[in-house]
Amino acid sequence: MFSRRLLLGSATALAALSLSAPNLTQADEPTRVVATFSILGDMVQRIGGEHIALTTLVGPNGDAHVYQPSPADARAVSEAQVLIENGLEFEGWLGRLVEASDFSGVRVMATDGVEPIAFDDGHDDHGEDKHDDHDDHGHDDHAEDKHDDHGHEGGHGHGAHAFEWAGLFELEAGTYTWSFAKVGGDYADPAMKMVILSADDIEAVEETAEDLLEADASETKTHGDALAAKEAAYALTFDAAKEVTTFTVTIADAGKFAFFTEHMPFEFEANEHFFKDASGADVEPIAQEPDVDHGDHGHGGHHGHDHGAFDPHAWQSLENAVIYVDNVTEALAKADPANAASFYENRAAYVAEIEALQADVVAMVAEIPENKRTVVTSHDAFGYFADSYGLTFAAPQGLSTESEASAKDVAELIKQIRKESISAVFVETITDNRLLEQIANETGAAIGGTLYSDALSDADGPAPTYLDMMRHNATTISTALGS
Ligand SMILES: [Zn+2]
C-alpha cells in the first residue's frame, strides 16, 4: 500500500537536487503561480509559502469538471510564471484558456509519475444517452486538442469546429450592441467570423451556421457597423487601436436568435458583458453550446470529453499526494532557485504530516468490518481512495460530474445496496445529491454524511485544507460504516 521506500527514495533525490540548486540572491517579487482547483491550490500554497503569489481558478466547493473560466482567470494565466494543473484530463477547459491567454510560463502536471487507474469501461456506459448526438457533430471542444487537431477520426460530414460557441437569445425588436474586447492586451484574432440566425434552438441551425462559417463568402464589418439575423457570415474586423470593438445588432422582429462565434466568450469578454440591449443592460443567452449549466448535471452534454482514459481523482490517495507535492516542489524550485531551500523545507514538513495522516486513515478503515466496506457516493471520485485503503466505492454517476446516471445504472445500484445490506450512502458537495437521496429513500440506507471529492470547503467548513479533507472523509466513512 503505502510505499515508504518510494517516499524515502524521492526525498533523497530531492535533497540532492536541493543541494545542487544555485544559491542566488533573494528574489524581490513572489513567483506568480496559478493552480487550477482548490485542493491543488492548498498543496501549492503549503510548498510555496510567502515566496509565491497564488491564484486558484476553481475555488472551494467549485466543480472543476464543468468550470467556465472567467476573463479574470485568463488574465491570471497570462501573467503566471508557473501553471499547475492536475492533468489526466480533469480540467477539460484548461487547454483553451491557456491558448487564449498568451501564457508563456511553465506548465506543470501535478499527477506526473502517478500510476493512474485505468478508466473502467463498465462505467462509461453512462454516456449511452442523449449526448451521443452532440458527440457525433464533433463540435465539442476537446481541451487537450490543439486548434487544428480536433478529432476528425469520426469522419463527421461537416468540418468540425467551424464555431466554438453558440448562444440562443430571446430578443425583442430593437437595437443591441455586441462587443469584442482585448483580453490580456490582444484580441483573440485580428478578425473573427460570426453568424446570426433566427432559430428556435441552436441544433436546428447549427449545420447551416457551419456551412456559412466555412464558406469563402463573408461580409466584412468594422467597429460601429450594423449586423442582422440573416443567412450570411460576418467577418468582424477588430480595431487594434481600441480596447473594445463594438457592433450594432438590429433585430427587426421579436423572436429567438442563435449567434455562432469562432471563439469562446471568455476570449472576447473583458470587463463588460459582450451583449447588451439599447439601455445598456446585459442580455444573457437562454441556451448555449457548449452548455455550462452547472446546476443541472447531465445536460451538460459533451460526455466523454471530460474524462480521458484514466480516473483523474488521483489526489484521493495520500500516497499520490506525495507525488503531487514533489512535482510542485521541483517546479517552484526551478522557477525560483533562490528560494529552493525553503520549498524543500516546506515539503519535508508537509510530507511528514501526509505520512502521519496516512497511518491514521489506515487505522480508521481497519475498524470497519470487512463486509461493510462498500461506500456509495454520487460520482466516481474515490477510486484511488478505494485502492489505497481497501474499500469499494459505487456511484450512480460516472467519473465526471458531467455524465449522467442511466436508469439501468441506478436500478443496479439499488439492487446492490439491498443485496449487500449497505447501511449508508454519502453525499458530495460538488454534485446534485437528489438522485442519491432518492436511492437512500428507496433502499432504507441512511445518509452517512458529506464527502469532499473534488473541492475543499470554505475556511469555516470541515475541509478547508487537503489534509482536513482527507481526514474528514475517512472519519465520516468509518463512523457511518464502522458501527
Ligand atoms: Zn470528480
How much is the pLDDT for 408? 81
Our CA angle for 68, 70, 72, nearest 5°, is 155
Q: How far is the C-alpha of 170 from the C-alpha of 253, rounded, in Å?
A: 11
262 in a structural domain: yes
Query: Counting beta carbons within 10 angstroms of the beta carbon of residue 279, is it exposed (0 to 12), middle (13 to 18) or buried (19 or more)?
Result: exposed
Q: Are residues 442 and 327 in the same domain?
A: no
The domain in which residue 427 lies consists of 364-482
For the record, the C-alpha cell of 403 comes out as 455524465
Question: What's the CA-to-centroid distance between 475 and ligand 1, angstroms?
Answer: 20
Q: Is residue 261 domain-resident?
A: yes
Asked if residue 150 belongs to a domain, the reply is: no
Cα of 317 vs centre of ligand 1, distance in Å, is: 14
Closest Cα partner for 138 from 119, 115, 154, 122? 154
Question: How far away, in angstroms, is 324 Cα from ligand 1 center?
Answer: 17
Q: What is the pLDDT of residue 338?
A: 96
Q: Which helix (H) or strand (E) holds 34?
A: strand 31-37
Residues 182 and 277 in one domain: yes
Element (H, E) at 228: strand 226-228
Q: What is the rounded CA–CA span in Å between residue 247 and residue 225? A: 5
176 and 282 housed in the same domain: yes
Residues 228 and 329 in one domain: no
- Tell me whether residue 155 is in a domain: no
| Residue 136 is assigned to a structural domain of this protein | no
Q: Which amino acid is at 352?
A: A
Tell me what pLDDT residue 483 has. 67
Query: What is the 381 CA–ligand 1 centroid distance (Å)?
Result: 5
Whole-angstrom distance, CA of residue 344 vs CA of residue 467: 19
| Same domain membership, residue 313 and residue 237 | no
Q: How remote is the C-alpha of 274 from its chain's centroid? A: 23
Nearest to 373 by CA among 236, 474, 254, 251: 474
Write down the H helix ranges in 367-448.
383-389, 407-419, 434-443
Last residue of a domain, one of 299, 322, 352: 352
Q: How far is the CA of 261 from the centre of ligand 1 (A)?
A: 30
Q: Which of 289, 319, 340 is the last residue of a domain?
A: 289
Q: How many Å separate Cα 346 from the centre of its chain?
A: 28
Cα(176)–Cα(372) distance, integer angstroms: 61
How high is the pLDDT of residue 165?
Answer: 83
Domain count, the chain: 3
Calculate how far, in angstroms, residue 64's C-alpha sits from the geometric centre of ligand 1.
8
Residues 453 and 376 in one domain: yes
Q: If you write DSSP's letter for every residue of 312-344 in order, what string do you get? A: --GGGSHHHHHHHHHHHHHHHHHH-GGGHHHHH
Q: Are residues 166 and 283 in the same domain?
A: yes
Integer Cα distance of 447 and 422 in angstroms: 11
Q: Write down the pLDDT at residue 301.
A: 31
Separation of CA 68 and ligand 1 centre (Å): 15
Distance, CA 267 to ligand 1 centroid (Å)? 26
The structure's pTM equals: 0.63
So what's the pLDDT on residue 220? 93
In a domain, 148, yes or no: no
Cα of 402 from ligand 1 centre, angstroms: 9
* Complete DSSP assignment for 174-196: EEEEEEEE-BTTB-SSSEEEEEE
Gap from CA of 116 to ligand 1 centroid (Å): 15
Distance between Cα 50 and ligand 1 center (Å): 30
Positions of the chain with pLDDT lower than 50, given as ranges = 1-9, 11-12, 14-27, 121-159, 293-306
Amino acid symbol at 286 = I
In a domain, 156, yes or no: no
Cα 421 to averaged position of ligand 1 atoms, centre (Å): 26
Rounded to the nearest whole angstrom, what is the distance from the C-alpha of residue 371 to the centroid of ligand 1?
Answer: 26
C-alpha of residue 59 to centroid of ligand 1, in Å: 14
Candidates 94, 52, 55; CA nearest to 76 is 55
Residue 266 pLDDT: 75
Q: What's the CA-to-centroid distance between 428 and ligand 1, angstroms?
A: 10
Question: What whole-number distance in Å separates Cα of residue 20 and Cα of residue 63?
Answer: 40
Check: CB of residue 145 under 8 Å from CB of residue 99. no
- With respect to residue 375, please indicate whether it lies within any of the assigned structural domains: yes
Ligand 1 centroid distance, CA of 90 (Å): 8
Ligand 1: distance of its center to the CA of 37 in Å? 12
Dist. CA 171 → ligand 1 center (Å): 37
Identify any residues that bridge with 175 across adjacent strands, giving them in sequence order.
250
Residues 403 and 465 in one domain: yes
Which pLDDT score, from 0 to 100, does residue 22 have? 44
Within this chain, do residues 10 and 104 fall inside the same structural domain, yes or no?
A: yes
- Enter the DSSP assignment of 293: -
Which residues lie below 8 Å from residue 258, measured CB to CB, with a gap of 6+? Answer: 166, 167, 168, 169, 196, 197, 199, 201, 202, 205, 206, 209
- My answer on whether 109 and 165 are in the same domain is no
Q: How far is the CA of 22 from the centre of ligand 1 (A)?
A: 39
Tell how far the Cα of 292 is from the centroid of ligand 1, in angstroms.
16
404 with 448, same domain: the answer is yes
For residue 107, give the 3-state DSSP assignment.
strand
Other CB atoms within a 10 A radius of the CB of residue 272 amount to: 15
Domain CATH number, residue 36? 3.40.50.1980
Distance between Cα 325 and ligand 1 center (Å): 20
CA of 374 to the centre of ligand 1 (A): 19
Same domain, 282 and 193: yes
pLDDT for 139? 37
Distance 436 CA to ligand 1 centre (A): 16
Distance 265 CA to ligand 1 centre (A): 25
Report d(CA 73, CA 100) in Å as an integer.
Answer: 11
